[in-house]
Structure 1
């Protein structure tokens, strides 16, 4: 194999694919990136057996061929080469090493044969649809923070995507929960999504998809089966296994009868929570909200260091209420709100609270209270 291409194109592609490769691997081939040169393109592919990333970049192919080299070392070499330089990749006839040439720099990397590289992308995809990157990005951005990190309940370690019929029509919905908080958001269902299986996309895959959706005007093509998802954005194709589990009936925890409504300026509230939580301990992150007509008092008490209070003007005319929440969870939720006003719908100190935006009925959050 002999191929030459722009360092900028090679680095951008390596940046996408090398992130899939785990730093520590017991299987040597999983530490490598597959390079395949043919026609006028160079394909780069990496996998961890659950997630596969493939990108095609334009290149001048003098001799077609394929090999694999250590992904992170290859990335670091290309990253340190001068901007605007040309990079030549050439494999030795004996298949022992690949030479990287750029200007006066010369590197040799040990290779493993292409035939050892696993293929997790095979299989039939039953559903296919296309949607704008900004819509898919919205679904992920609004829910990703609530993904559970608890490995025992592995079925919560991702975002649950499915379609649902609403009075406004068919919606494409994303839901994530860790048992303490829940995030749900909808977009109009794209053509082709109807009848799709409900799928749980793993946390690592969600993070990689999020990084690909940087350009809002680009279209993203999604292909689904009951066990895999394939996402194509531009020249990048991500294929991932899905979490094999059943997502819980999240609708049962979304409160329907919370009759105490609180409206507060999002920025003022978040700043106040951030300030008073400075005094809290890492173990106990509770902040107490004392609600009365037109007023909210935030209180944090730390027996080891002191206490803090702050008063915030709010719209509230229901019965007085004291309720506690984890300060970090409140900040996580308010950071996702795009409107200036946050709407809290409360019931009592022991029941879940519903949090919504004043101008986005498609997004909601549920937060469990804490004892204070």
Structure 2
């Protein structure tokens, strides 16, 4: 293989694919990136056996061929080469080493044969649709923070994506929960999503999709089967296994009888929660909300360091109510709201609370209270 390409093109594509590669690998080939030179492009592929990303970069091919080299090492070398330089990649006759040369710099890397590189064969996809990058990004951003990190409940370690009927409309809905809070966001279902199976996209894949969306105006191709998804972003193709499990019936967790409504300016409330929680213990992190007509008092008590209170003007006309929440969870949710006001729908101190955005109904959050 002998190929020459612009450093900037190589760096950009390597930047996308090398992130998939785990730093510590017991299988040597999984530390490598597959490079295949043919025609006027260099195709790069990396995988961790659950997730695979491929991308092509424009190049001048003198001799076609393929090999695999350490992904993170190649990325670091290219990153440190000067801007605007050209990079030549050449393998020796035996295919055991590849030289990376640019200007006066020359590196020699150990290769492993292309034939050893695993292929995440996609199989057939039952459903395919086009989705605007901005819509997919919104679904992820509004729900990602609520993904569980508890490995024992593996079916909660991702975002549940499915279609759901809302009145006469069909919605594409994303849901994530860790048992303490639940996040739900939805958009109009794209044409072709009808009848697709409900899928759980793993946390790592969710993070990679978010990083790969660089142009919100772009259209993405989204393909779904029972076991895998494939997303095409122009030159980039991401293929991922799905979590093999059943997502719980989240609708049962969303309360329907919360009749007390409280409205508060979102940024003022978030700043106040942040201030009073300074004094909370790392373990507790509980903040008490005491609601009366038109007023809320936030209180944090920490037996080891003291207490803090702050008063806020709110729109509330129900009976006086005291309820406690985890301060970090409150800040996570208010950070996702795009409207000026946060709307809390409450029942009593022991029941889950619904939090929605005053600007629209495309996202809904459920938060379990804490004893304070």
Task: Answer yes or no: same fold by TM over 0.5.
Answer: yes
Show the counterpart of 1:94.
Answer: 94
Show the counterpart of 1:328.
Answer: 328
CA contact (8 A) 1:149 1:157 kept: yes
- Asked whether 1:367 is paired with 2:352, we answer no
Secondary structure of 1:153's aligned partner: helix
Show the counterpart of 1:68.
Answer: 68
- Normalised to the residue count of structure 1, the TM-score between the two structures is 0.99
> Structure 1, residues 118-138: CA drift from partner, whole Å, max 9, x if none?
001331111100011000000
Show the counterpart of 2:154.
Answer: 154
- Normalised to the residue count of structure 2, the TM-score between the two structures is 0.99
Q: 5+ unaligned residues in a row in structure 1: which ranges? A: none
In 2, the alpha carbon distance for the partners of 1:133 and 1:12 equals 19
Query: Which runs of structure 2 are paired with 1:106-255 in the superposition (5 Å)?
Result: 106-255=106-255
TM superposition shift of 1:360? 1.4
CA contact (8 A) 1:52 1:121 kept: no
Stretch moving more, 161-170 or 327-336: 161-170
In 1, the alpha carbon distance for the partners of 2:21 and 2:168 equals 42
Q: 5+ unaligned residues in a row in structure 2: which ranges? A: none
CA contact (8 A) 1:35 1:42 kept: yes
Extract structure 1 runs of 4+ deviating beyond 4 A: none
Secondary structure of 1:77's aligned partner: helix
Q: What CA RMSD, in Å, does the superposition of the two structures yield over aligned residues?
A: 0.6
Show the counterpart of 1:297.
Answer: 297
> Structure 1, residues 84-139: CA drift from partner, whole Å, max 9, x if none?
11000000001110000101100000000000000013311111000110000000
In 1, the alpha carbon distance for the partners of 2:17 and 2:121 equals 15
- Asked whether 1:348 is paired with 2:348, we answer yes
CA contact (8 A) 1:53 1:239 kept: yes
Alignment length, in residue pairs? Answer: 372
In 2, the alpha carbon distance for the partners of 1:8 and 1:62 equals 20
In 1, the alpha carbon distance for the partners of 2:14 and 2:345 equals 47
Show the counterpart of 1:31.
Answer: 31
In 2, the alpha carbon distance for the partners of 1:154 and 1:62 equals 48
Secondary structure of 1:30's aligned partner: helix
CA contact (8 A) 1:13 1:44 kept: yes
In 1, the alpha carbon distance for the partners of 2:121 and 2:13 equals 19
In 2, the alpha carbon distance for the partners of 1:344 and 1:91 equals 63
In 1, the alpha carbon distance for the partners of 2:279 and 2:122 equals 53
TM superposition shift of 1:168? 4.5
